[in-house]
Chain A
């Protein structure tokens, strides 16, 4: 790794840190712009509670001072304060509880999307212009042209309400099958298209012909020469894919009643639980930024030919 690559990585890390800071700042000031302040629900809470909250969070202090307190609480202690609507629970508790379920859901969906996407994309490229190729492409186009929540509802309707194969409630392991499939379909379709086009590109290269001419077996050419290089562009999609899965899980968890971070986030939007909205936004945003950072750095490190800047 040369110094240019190191500089690039350093720059990317700085940008990521800056982005997280911007997210925290936007979240803070935007929620302060709400009439009545972030700790005010639609139904007025008792005056004693309001006073206690205000004292605890220093809402009587100037905005900038509140901002520095919030920032330092979030950065140093990862403390997002108490939830407004779920009394006696801190935002941290709710998030860490939900994150366990959601991580399982999201990672399974990501693995399925990557595995099936690469296989389908390579098959489509190798069997170019056959019925198999057309079928795969039609399927993946259909998958990206339907919003995730509609797809999820269809799967729910078909497989649990009509056929009864899996439970409609996502609290059990069997109930997680449909949410995982719903989440993975759209990224899988994107990876399929990406793999297909880069595979076609690689298969036309000279070194593939050379390898074939040398008498390397067909399978070895595909796996060792073609696939290895065709997968490099797929790396760039890992960041956006995880961002999609994180935001997609918000609706999927609501449809299938999975007790994850997404469902509590959607709930907090509906009942205006501002500390929970703020906390979840910051946590999810940080996750997405870090994933994007890793996928960008990985991309440059894996392929040294790529021009930095």
Chain B
């Protein structure tokens, strides 16, 4: 290259030649780029404990949903009580795989009778289906309570975090106070009172079927349990909103709602998912605790907690009635906790450091 060409303003045409094959190969991507979600999923799959707990949760949930559909007994049918006939006490307190008098007669006649796998309870109801139904109730209490916590916590937390200033100050002082309230005592107090206050209010509506206790449980969760979720979301948003891309969005004239929904919340998603997953077992615990105090789901609807606390009356004679729901509740809570921990390790690598 001579000096004349160096000073020339003409572009060097060699720079615009088509790439050779060797150069092209250099640019080829070795594997498709991974997203945040795929990356987390990969880490989650490697965690054996979390995978096993995930399958346990799926198995329990599916059987709680499907089994009552085709099971020949229902959770509230007292087998010894038939319209037009005297009450048959032989159905009460059956041991596992035993049958009542009329069932034995039918079996002698050659009919097939579906076994009572866990026996029956003191009122002659099939215990297996009550446990399955109880698991369904406990799981749905956990799920919906967490959903309520999620919605309220997310809304309040993101508003406080995004607005900052006085709004944040006021919201956070309220959160501080609710946070330091002894939650269990407040729950007991509110459930006790709501129970008698709501009974007349919801008579005749759809809500009546759900039961007063269940509704007051949800109200209490909505009032008290959102605070830790909203604290976490706020903290996350506070750090995120100082990021450059938020400034860029604001500079291009994006409204606050857009920035919260499109930029800030998607980046909080791991915090949200993890704390929701860990909220479910704590809601199941709370429900079982309240059931024990007589403030849980309404009879005859069973929950795992109410089954266990009912079993205490005949503890010495029928210990299996306590053992079965106890194992079910521990299995569900344990696998939800382990899965939640696995989620946290997989989707929040920052926490690990």
A residues contacting B by CB (< 8 A) are 15-16, 18-19, 22-23, 26-27, 30-31, 33-35, 141-142, 144-150, 153-154, 156-157, 161, 243, 246-247, 250-251, 254-255, 266, 269-270, 272, 277, 281, 284-285, 288-289, 292
Residue numbers in B under 8 Å from A266 (CB-CB): 293
Write the nearest CB–CB distance from A101 to chain B, whole angstroms: 19
Docked CA distance A301–B200 (Å) = 52
Tell me whether A285 and B293 are in contact in the complex, defined as CB-CB below 8 angstroms, given that A35-B197, A145-B333, A149-B309 are known contacts: no
Distance, CA A15 to CA B180, complexed state (A) = 9
- 25 chain-A/chain-B pairs, Cβ below 8 angstroms: A19-B177, A19-B181, A33-B193, A146-B330, A147-B292, A147-B329, A149-B288, A149-B308, A150-B288, A150-B322, A150-B329, A153-B311, A153-B312, A153-B315, A154-B322, A157-B322, A243-B182, A246-B182, A269-B188, A269-B293, A270-B294, A272-B192, A277-B192, A284-B182, A289-B182
Separation of A19 and B177 alpha carbons in the complex (Å)? 6
Cα–Cα distance between A107 and B316 once the two chains are bound (Å): 30
Chain A residue contacts of B330, Cβ below 8 A: 142, 145-146, 150
Q: Are B322 and A147 in contact (CB under 8 A)?
A: no
Given contacts A147-B285, A269-B294, A289-B180, are A277 and B312 in contact (CB under 8 A)?
no
Bound-complex Cα distance A247 to B189 (A): 12
In the complex, what residue of chain A is closest to B174 when comparing beta carbons? A22
CB–CB A34/B322 < 8 A: no
The one of B176, B190, B289, B316 that contacts A157, using a Cβ cutoff of 8 Å: B316
A21 nearest in chain B by CB position: B177
Q: Does B153 count as interface, using CB distance less than 8 angstroms?
A: no
A254: which B residues are within 8 A, CB to CB? 292
Q: Which of B294, B305, B308, B312 has the most CB of A within 10 A?
A: B312
> Is residue B184 within 8 Å, beta carbon to beta carbon, of the partner chain?
yes
Return the contact of A269 from the options B184, B192, B285, B289 (Cβ within 8 A). Answer: B192
- Can you list, as one digit per residue, whether each of B317-346 has a CB less than 8 Å from chain A (1) or not (0)? 001001000100110011001000000000
Measured in the bound complex, the distance between the Cα atoms of B197 and A19 in whole Å is 25
Chain B at the A interface: mostly helix, strand, loop or mixed?
A: helix
Main secondary structure of the interface of A (DSSP, over half): helix
Interface residues of B (CB under 8 A from A): 176-177, 180-182, 184-186, 188-190, 192-193, 196-197, 200, 281, 285, 288-289, 292-295, 305, 308-309, 311-312, 315-316, 319, 322, 326, 329-330, 333-334, 337
Is there contact, CB below 8 Å, between B322 and A247? Answer: no
Q: How far is the CA of A45 from the CA of B182 in the complex (A)?
A: 33
**From residue A167, how far is it (CB to closest CB) to chain B in Å?**
14
CB distance from A43 to the nearest CB of B (A): 14
**Distance A109 CA – B197 CA, assembled complex (angstroms):** 37
Determine which of A35, A147, A251, A277 lies in contact with B200 in the assembled complex, contact meaning CB atoms within 8 Å.
A35
CA distance A79 to B182 in the complex (A): 21
State the CA gap A83–B347 with chains docked (Å): 53
Q: How far is the CA of A154 from the CA of B315 in the complex (A)?
A: 9
Nearest 3 A-B pairs (CB), nearest first? Answer: A247-B184, A145-B334, A288-B182
- Extra inter-chain contacts (9) besides given A269-B293, A288-B185, CB under 8 Å: A16-B180, A30-B193, A34-B193, A149-B308, A150-B326, A153-B315, A154-B326, A284-B185, A289-B180
Q: Is the CB of A161 within 8 A of B316?
A: yes
Enumerate chain B residues within 8 angstroms of A150, measured Cβ to Cβ: 288, 308, 322, 326, 329-330
